[in-house]
Amino acid sequence: MSSLDAHPTASWSPLHDKFYRRVPVYKMGWSDVDLEQFDVVSAPFGGPIAYQAYTAALVRAEKRLHVARDHHADAPSVMLFTASGRFLSQFRWDAVRVVKIGWTDDERLLCICANGIVLMYNLFGEAMQFTLGSESREEGVIDGRIWGTGLVALLSNFQFVFVSNLKDVRARRLADAVPPQCSLSRSLELYVAIGSTIVVVDQQEAQDQLLNEGPFTRVSVSPNGKLIALFTTEGKVSVVTADFQRRLSDARIYVDNLPFTRLLRCGTDSVILVTDEELVVIGPFGDCIRYNTSDVAHLVTEIDGTRAITAKESFIIQKVP
C-alpha cells in the first residue's frame, strides 16, 4: 500500500487519552545552514524567521554576571527569512552586542543590546530604537525575554527592567518572564528559579513558593496561564497549577543529554522537551511521545501546537483536534 493510501490515523501517537501528530509544513529553501551555531527565533502564526550567530557566553564574576564575547567572531549580523527559509534581508552592526532577539505580534524584530538600547527592525531592515534607562546602560544587560507586546531585561546586578507595552515605551524596574495574558493576575510576572524553589516576582513583591525539588533549569507556562511545567537538573518534570497549590504529575524523563536546548508548551495539555536528537512530548500525567530528529530543531509555540524548524524542513507537532 502506498503512502497515499495510508489511513490518516496511521501517524497519530497516543498520549494518555489524547492523540498527537507530526505534520510536515515546508522543505526549507535555505542551503548550507548550520543551525547549531545560531540563535534562531520565529514569529508566531507561521511568521518569518530570524537568526544570528552565537558570539558570547555568560561568565560569573564576584556578585555579578558579565558577557564574555568571542573575539574571533565576525561583526554580529541578523538574517531574515520567510517561514519556508527564503531570504528576505540582512543587517549587521559593529559597535553594539545583541543579547536577545525576538518577534512582536506585528512582525517587528526586537534586539535587546548589552548597552540597554533596544533596536526594533521591520522586515526590510529599517530600524528604530529606544532605551531601557540609565541603570541598564551603566550596569549592562546580560539576558532578556521577549513576547508579542513587551520585553524584560536582566541586568548584570541581577535587577529586572521591563517594558509592558511597545506602543507606549516606558522602561520600569521590577521587584523567567510570563506575558501578562498568561498570568493569573493579568499583570507582568517573573518566575525566577532560585536554589531549590521558585520565586514569583511582580512590581509589588517577590513571593517564595516554598518548593524543595529544585534546582529547576526550565520553567514553562501554559498558554491559558493555568499550568506550569518545571524541569529539574535530574530530569524530573513536574506539572503544577499556576498558584502552586496542586501538583498534577511528576515524571522522570530519560534523555541522553540533560542540558537540553529548550522546554516549550505544546498547546495547553503538554510540553515539548528539546534535545540534540529528539523532541519529547510530555503530557500532564507524565506520559510521553518521542520524535527523532536528524538535525538541531528550533521551536516556536503556535496557537494550535508547536512548530519545529530544522536545516532541512519545518513541521508542526499538535494535538489531533
Over the stretch 82-130, which tens digit does the pLDDT of each residue have? 999 999 888 876 667 888 999 999 999 999 999 999 999 988 888 889 9
Mean pLDDT of the chain: 81
Residue 1 has pLDDT above 50, yes or no: no
Residue 316 has pLDDT above 70, yes or no: yes
CATH of domain 12-29+211-321: 2.130.10.10
Annotated domain spans of the chain: 12-29+211-321, 43-174
**Strongest mean pLDDT among 148-152, 192-196, 279-283:** 148-152
Residue 8, φ and ψ in degrees, nearest 5: -55, -30
Average pLDDT over residues 238-257: 80
Whether pLDDT at 75 is above 60: no
Q: What is the pLDDT of residue 68?
A: 43
Predicted local confidence at residue 211, as pLDDT: 87
Give the per-residue pLDDT at 257.
56
Find which of 22-31, 37-46, 59-68, 185-194 is predicted with most confidence, using mean pLDDT: 22-31
Confidence of residue 57 (pLDDT cuts 50, 70, 90): very low
Sheet of 77-81, strands arranged across: 38-42, 49-53, 77-81, 87-92
Q: What pLDDT shows up at residue 259?
A: 55
Mean pLDDT of 242-250: 85
Q: What is the pLDDT of residue 219?
A: 87
* 167 close to 175: Cβ distance less than 8 angstroms: no
Nearest to 96 by CA among 122, 78, 123: 78
Q: Read off the pTM.
A: 0.77
Kindly tell me if the per-residue pLDDT of 42 is higher than 80.
Answer: yes
What CATH number belongs to 43-174? Answer: 2.130.10.10
> For residue 131, which of 182, 96, 89 has the smallest C-alpha distance?
96
pLDDT for 95 equals: 60
At 108 the pLDDT is: 92
Which comes out higher in pLDDT, residue 83 or 68?
83
Is 43-174 the same fold as 12-29+211-321? yes
Please write down the HEC assignment for all residues of the chain.
CCHHHCCHHHHCEEECCEEEEEEEEEECCCCCCCHHHEEEEECCCCCCEEEEECCEEEEEECCEEEEEECCCCCCCEEEEECCCCCEEEEEECCCCCEEEEEECCCCCEEEEECCCEEEEECCCCCEEEEECCHHHHHHCEEEEEEECCEEEEEECCCCEEEECCCCCCCCEEECCEECHHHCCCCCCEEEEEECCEEEEECCCCEEECCCCCCCEEEEEECCCCCEEEEEECCCEEEEEECCCCCEEEEEECCCCCCCCCEEEEECCCEEEEECCCEEEEECCCCCEEEEECCCCCEEEEECCEEEEECCCEEEEEEECC
Determine the average pLDDT of the residues in 189-195.
83
What average pLDDT does this structure show over 18-30?
Answer: 92
Average pLDDT of the segment spanning 278-301: 85
Percentage with pLDDT > 70 across the chain = 83
Average pLDDT rounded to a whole number, residues 199-213: 82
Q: Per-residue confidence at 183, pLDDT binned at 50, 70, 90?
A: low
